Amino acid sequence: MKNALLSLLAITTLSSASAATSVGASVGSGVSLHLQQDLTSTSAMRYSLNLEATQFNFNRLSVGGSVDYLSDIPSASTLGGLTPYYGLGLGAGVALGNGAGVSIYPHGNLGLRYDVTSPLSIFGELNAGPAIVVGGGATGIGFGFGAKIGLNYRIQ
């Protein structure tokens, strides 16, 4: 998975050298740091590193990553400065501690972005899809969902 993420990052970076690059973070269903590479003026790839502590006494820590393709909704113009977008992604994670296991999470995204200033934007996003878990006493397929708010800072 790590090699696939690095390969996608390298291909995207080399094929769209003139596109904008952003870094950012989000909170909600865990904490996430991400790199976002614009493919066109209305689409982007986002590569995230995710960290999630469950059971408030931190008996279980989940570390993972996600690759998401995001695109502005074409028929919807900005709504008072808000730009609606959708996307598809694939997340994978490893749970450490009490109930260790691995998970895969193919999902769909739906969000709103607001450009605060030229380099800074904020967003809110929902995601949902099947969650496949192996190990930790919870092997099986279920339904996963999440929500997050975050910011992007354009560095290029």
Round the average pLDDT of the chain to a whole number and report it. Answer: 83
When comparing pLDDT for 125 and 61, which is higher? Answer: 125
pLDDT at 99: 72
When comparing pLDDT for 29 and 45, which is higher? Answer: 45
Q: What pTM, to 2 d.p., does this model score?
A: 0.79
pLDDT at 147: 93
Task: Confirm if 23 and 153 have CB atoms less than 8 A apart.
Answer: yes
pLDDT at 97: 73
The predicted model gives 93-102 an average pLDDT of 82
The predicted model gives 98-114 an average pLDDT of 91
Sign of the dihedral defined by the CA atoms of residues 101, 25, 48, 90, in that order: positive
DSSP 41: S
Is the CATH code 2.30.30.830 the one for domain 2-11+18-154? no
User: Hey, how many other C-beta atoms are within 10 angstroms of the C-beta on 26?
Assistant: 23
